[in-house]
Amino acid sequence: MLLSGATLIFVLVTGLVALPFLRRKGTASERHEIRTWVIGLGLAFPMTVLAALLAYGLVIGERLLPYPGDAVVEVAATGSRDGWIFTYSDAADRTTSAVLHIPAGRPVDVAITTEDVIHSFWVPRLAGKLDAIPGHVNVLRIEADAPGTYQGLSAEFSGPGYANLTFTVTAHDGAGWRAFLVGKTE
């Protein structure tokens, strides 16, 4: 069913693209203008834009892939209607509430889950949105290019007050991250 529908759409679009080339009415310059419009702005421009977007997506996606030997920081994020709790395996299972601490310039794998209902973990400036599902762990790789503070939120309706279910991501430089690991910062 899906294949036949896709084939029908393909034939229809191919026919519409071929139609200006088959028309014999009008002057030669008018037919040339139509062909230029169809080929230049109807085919070449969208294909160029799509190719650029594909190349951009592949480069960004490649950057987020794990490589053997990467010094990846692992953090567990547990969402609930009360907020987010973050547990750090590198810091002797230290936990923080509503603030996720990460090192800048290093990949961080966030293991996301929830205790009650579906939430979503989203830090718009660092990565896409990933749902937190009860009884299931989803892993999202994030990386901050520079030290700073980034806002995160739960972008999934999870009951009254879900709009206030926010958190902050603090990306530390090397010295700040080491200080956090030994418990000298909050």
Same structural domain, 47 and 139: no
Mean pLDDT highest for which of 32-36, 146-150, 176-180? 146-150
Contacts of 79 (CB under 8 A, 6+ apart): 112, 113, 114, 115, 119, 121, 132, 154, 165
50-102: pLDDT as tens digits: 899 999 988 887 776 766 666 789 999 999 888 899 999 876 668 899 999 99
Closest CA to 86 of 161, 148, 142, 124: 142
For 51, the token pair is 């190719």
- CATH number, domain of 92, equals 2.60.40.420
Looking at the fold, whether 82 and 168 belong to one and the same domain comes out as: yes
Does a structural domain hold residue 26? yes
How many angstroms separate the CA atoms of 88 and 74, rounded?
A: 7
pLDDT of residue 81: 85
Do 106 and 170 belong to one domain?
yes
- Looking at the structure of the chain, the number of domains it has is 2
Give residue 170's pLDDT. 96
> Do the beta carbons of residue 150 and residue 169 sit within 8 Å?
yes
Residues 156 and 93 in one domain: yes
Residue 94 sits in the same domain as residue 176: yes
How far apart, in Å, do the first and last CA atoms of the chain sit? Answer: 57
What is the domain extent for residue 114?
73-181
On whether both 45 and 123 belong to a single domain, the answer is no
What digits encode the pLDDT tens for the residues 125-172? 998 899 999 999 999 989 899 999 999 988 877 777 766 788 999 999
In terms of domains, do 78 and 146 share one? yes
Q: Is residue 177 part of a domain?
A: yes
